[in-house]
Amino acid sequence: MKTMKNTFLSVIYLSIYCIGYNQDITLGQGITEGITITTSSENIEGSAQNTLGSRGFKPNLNASSRFLSQSTFGSTYDEIKELENLGLEDWIDEQFNIPVGPSIMSEVIDITNQRKAANNDANGGSYDWYWHYGWWDYHMSNDDQLRQRLAFALSQLFVISRFSAFGDNAYALSTYYDMLLNNALGNYRTLLDSVTYHTAMGEFLTYMNNSRTDTILDLDWSVWPPDTLDIHYTFPDENYAREVMQLFTIGLHELNYDGTHKVDAQGKDIPTYDNRDIAELAKIFTGFSYGDNMNFGYGPGNWETTFRLPMQIYEEYHEYGEKYLLNGEVIPARSGTGWVHEDVKDALDHLFLHDNVGPFVGKFLIQRFVTSNPSPAYVSRVTDAFNGEGPYGTVRGDMQSLMKAILLDEEARSCTIGDDPDVGKLREPFIRYVQLGKAFGRNSDNGSFRNILFSIYDAIEQIPLSSPSVFNFYQSDYQPIGPIEDAQKVAPEFQITNTQSIAGYINGLTEWIMDDDYEDVWELYGNEVNVDGYRLQPDYSAELSLINQGRTDQLIDRLNVLIAHGKLQEGTINTIAEAVEQFNVSDDGLDPNLYKVKLAIYLIMASPDYLINR
């Protein structure tokens, strides 16, 4: 060690003990088994072991592509190269600093106004395909790629669906998704509050106009004093009370810190709540109604305004008295100004502080971003981040800390774990579809984008806010019959993998790639000019240059990095290369080399090597 004026030099001593390794080891990519690192300087205490981790590691092209496949809907080749130079954590920090783009709702209003003006219809409605247009334009026009992917994951946790009370109303869906985008990188407690007070959730889980416990007498007024003919008891709707526990916060069973189930003396799972707990919590979510209503229970005056405003609570319809919650928590009887909102705050705080929330939410998001079967150690480290512990932050529920813990964990980033057959996940069908649109540039002749997504849903059975139930398109613990179930693993996305969705996806690839029929673009009104100008215009110039030079192998290598993150096996590469070289186009008016490029993309995206993202 040598000390100089204004300079401190430290000598780091690396002690590396490798036991049982018969392979090259790259420090800095998460391999820690059998390796110990110490440092001679106490001034950098705790940093030595980080040498083995992924934090700050600058990846190669394949590692960059793999990281972006987990953290975005898809990336261009240039974006992959930029990440290679920037580094993972710096990229995440850049994403955190990108502001939310123009709201989806503003796009829906613009579309509605255009249609009204063109049709001279002051009473023109707003239809759900406006919402699809708005969603698509936002995601093709803005650079907040991590936020976009996270909001999509959250939409599968805090589920609402167009297959519900909303009908064709685009305002409900648009404002709800805007709320997810606005809160995705904030704090989970704030997000929980925004979800609870959102009008769309109030309608979807039926606690809109949910009244307190009451006794109703059916009287015979023909006599005096009137006789009591019948007595009816009404109780609060329990839908939201059940789902805010089961799906949004604590789950069905008591969890250990690492996401495994706690068991009782008989080895059985311990429930987190029972029917009494649901009934008591349901009292909290009474009195909610539209934010612009004059009276409880009467319809809103304007859908656009209604779904932009949080619900309000009417005291006369809210349950009075004490509420007895989980683990002996008692919300006191209250009165005075704002007491109804204090009830809600206390109940949500109580759920948010439950020990289950970190492992429950953390594991759910690991499954959406990285792997279906995270190790207990991985879940435990992510739980640390949720609880405000570990290297990424000190605030409980901070979503930025949580995302760093998920995406930078050694189990997500290790250079060898990606070859483990027990890790990874089936790519969600909709993410595959969007990746194709993002991979080859995001340009249109009109400068904005439209896509109704109806035929996409018919093909792959998944588009945003279109789940068939509150339990999402698939459940996190789904086990396909066969080897996965036998190995006691889960594979959630396989729940919507069936003969229809498989055939729909393969046929879709033909339409999207080979036939240049990628989006559903409708006119807003009759005789609208240049509707096709809202379509994505893919840029295949780099790929076409390679095939024009007869460099098929280099074309496959480039697409392997861009689309499959270097995971194509040798046999797959050879098969695709042979098919591309032998492919002929019979129509003289078509560019045969362009179709060879498209065929290569098609075959990669249809391959098992691509479909399972490791």
Averaged confidence pLDDT in the chain: 89
Helix (H) or strand (E) holding 542: helix 541-548
- pLDDT of 389 higher than 70: yes
Q: Which is nearest to 246 in space by CA: 341, 338, 360, 141?
A: 360
DSSP letter (8 states) at residue 214: E
Question: At 423, is the secondary structure helix, strand, or coil?
Answer: coil
DSSP letter (8 states) at residue 513: I
Q: Which is nearest to 208 in space by CA: 310, 305, 278?
A: 310
What are the tens digits of pLDDT across the range 400-415? 999 999 999 999 998 6
CA dihedral 395, 397, 401, 406 (to 10 degrees): 150
Count of positions (residues) in the chain: 614
Return the CA Rg of the chain: 27
Return the exposure string of 196-217: e unless at least 16 CB atoms fall within 10 Å of the residue's CB, then b: bbbbbbbbbbebbbbbbeeeee
Question: At 132, is the secondary structure helix, strand, or coil?
Answer: helix
What contacts 346, CB < 8 A, 6 or more positions away?
A: 331
- pLDDT of 38 higher than 50: yes
What contacts 266, CB < 8 A, 6 or more positions away?
A: none
Neighbours of 593 (CB within 10 A): 21
Q: What pLDDT is stored for residue 280 in this prediction?
A: 97
> Would strands 323-324 and 330-331 be described as parallel, antiparallel, or unpaired?
antiparallel
Neighbours of 483 (CB within 10 A): 10
Q: Contact, 325 vs 341, CB < 8 A?
A: no
Average pLDDT over residues 557-567: 97
Q: Which is nearest to 179 in space by CA: 68, 311, 91, 343?
A: 311
What are the tens digits of pLDDT across the range 425-454? 999 999 999 999 999 989 999 999 999 999
Q: Got the DSSP string for 461-485?
A: S--TT--SSTT-SS-TT---TTHHH
What are the tens digits of pLDDT across the range 313-357? 999 999 999 999 999 999 999 988 889 999 999 999 999 999 999
Q: Which residue has the tokens 């987190």?
A: 272
Q: Which residue type does 172 have?
A: A
Q: Contact, 97 vs 144, CB < 8 A?
A: no
For residues 260 and 177, what is the distance between their CA atoms, to the nearest angstrom?
31
For residues 101 and 141, what is the distance between their CA atoms, to the nearest angstrom?
9
What confidence tier does 15 reach under pLDDT thresholds 50, 70, 90? very low
pTM, 2 dp: 0.89
Token pair, residue 537, equals 């215009």
Q: What pLDDT is stored for residue 4 in this prediction?
A: 38
Average pLDDT over residues 27-40: 55
Helix (H) or strand (E) holding 197: helix 188-197
Q: What pLDDT is stored for residue 418 in this prediction?
A: 61
- pLDDT of 124 higher than 70: no
- pLDDT of 216 higher than 70: no
What confidence tier does 118 reach under pLDDT thresholds 50, 70, 90? confident
Q: Which is nearest to 142 in space by CA: 86, 90, 73, 190?
A: 73
Specify burial of residue 451 (Cβ count, 10 A radius: 0-12, 13-18, 19+): buried
